[in-house]
Structure 1
């Protein structure tokens, strides 16, 4: 199957752990919650790829530059950056309650994640590319690891 994709036109937000109040109530920081709400709405507008298949997913996180640092990489961990978009894609449904992408993210068998700073004039965003696999997972493994 061909690659399909979309760009999430918002600054990527890494997943965070819930905060716990003195009374034992758990909550997520406002930035985390706002990004999840944005993703829920945004994913209703992008092309769906509902398939009963295994998936290959590529994510590119274009991060805002630091104002004062000379660092050549952003501090956010790629696993934390990946969590919110993938979780929201897993939960995304159409008007009939059918999943828009996959039934469970355990169906993702190959995940490529990259991050970089935004280039001059470029806004932070996330590129998502995915495809349902037609062949055997072993074919993908052999290709990925040149076995």
Structure 2
């Protein structure tokens, strides 16, 4: 075999090793981080998954800035839907309050946001102004 053939074999082996290494890393990545058995009671995070593994049964306080928006902060129920409720308008900007509803029935206020309604058509602007007067930043009674 000449030198070029040996070099090509070595390059192929190195590439095969690199691809195998990357595939191994990707196979070890956790696929579904939402499928967990943790429960939340408002102040602590618990994992009652395995009684044989005592290190996983410990109770840890949640950080103050921790917000898992896909789970209810009170009971851990999954997310159901969100509401952007018009609040008030100032200078063509409509301020909205954002709420998230969870399957347990809890409705959580997430903060405020704004929409530039001066870019909308006149009838759409009028409709959202009527909604702002009707709801005043509170979620509708029907939810």
- More helix by percentage: 2
How does the TM-score come out when normalised to structure 1? 0.21
* Greater relative contact order, per chain length (Cα 8 Å cut-off, separation 6+): 1
Larger radius of gyration: 2
How does the TM-score come out when normalised to structure 2? 0.21
